Chains A and B, each alone.
Chain A
């Protein structure tokens, strides 16, 4: 696609429910990143994919968080048994890793509210 697409754009869920967030990266981008951003705060790294593998999962806050990427393309971030502290904007970005144009392009994010 023309840009990074994330869905849903907004999600309100009840505490304890599971949610699944989706990211469609730019076609051909091998690197995919998930970040979390609370209001007025910086980017909190969650996980990085290179192709379908995740060399760095160190940012996942707890075992309630998991992510996968299939076909070197779409990625899903799953949060199980959501808690109120999970409320934030979840941003996905993708990039090339070789060559000159390796800047990351961001999707518009999923705003998650746990009530």
Chain B
């Protein structure tokens, strides 16, 4: 079967750094996506990795290791507005397979 695992919930402090992990087992792999979803809103695209390594985009970075079926999203200098769910998704044979999301709670 196809499976994506992420922690259900994480808590971090404003100004700190947090790493959200994602592991996947899919029949195919054409890229991995991270999305942010604020409560009551639709998910919005954050990052895309298709090759191994780190992609940096401002305060957010995403890492991929295809051999390990592993990715992480790194958020630096956390702000209260970063409180949201973070969804990991893998494109497998042109479909998108989604994790259940990690709810990130930021405390002052």
Point out the residues of chain A lying under 8 angstroms from B99, CB to CB. Answer: 42
A-B contact count (CB 8 A): 44
A87, CB-defined interface residue at 8 Å: no
Point out the residues of chain A lying under 8 angstroms from B45, CB to CB. Answer: 103-105
A42→B98 contact, CB < 8 A: yes
Q: Which of B31, B41, B48, B95 has the most CB of A within 10 A?
A: B95
Point out the residues of chain A lying under 8 angstroms from B89, CB to CB. Answer: 104
* Size of interface on A: residues with Cβ below 8 Å to B: 23
20 interchain pairs (CB within 8 A)?
A: A41-B100, A42-B87, A42-B98, A42-B100, A43-B101, A45-B98, A55-B95, A97-B94, A102-B31, A102-B48, A103-B33, A104-B89, A104-B96, A105-B45, A106-B43, A106-B44, A107-B42, A108-B41, A108-B42, A109-B42
A-to-B contact residues, CB < 8 Å:
31, 33, 35, 41-43, 45, 48, 50, 55-56, 91, 93, 95, 97, 102-109
B-to-A contact residues, CB < 8 Å:
30-31, 33, 41-45, 48, 87, 89, 91, 94-96, 98-101
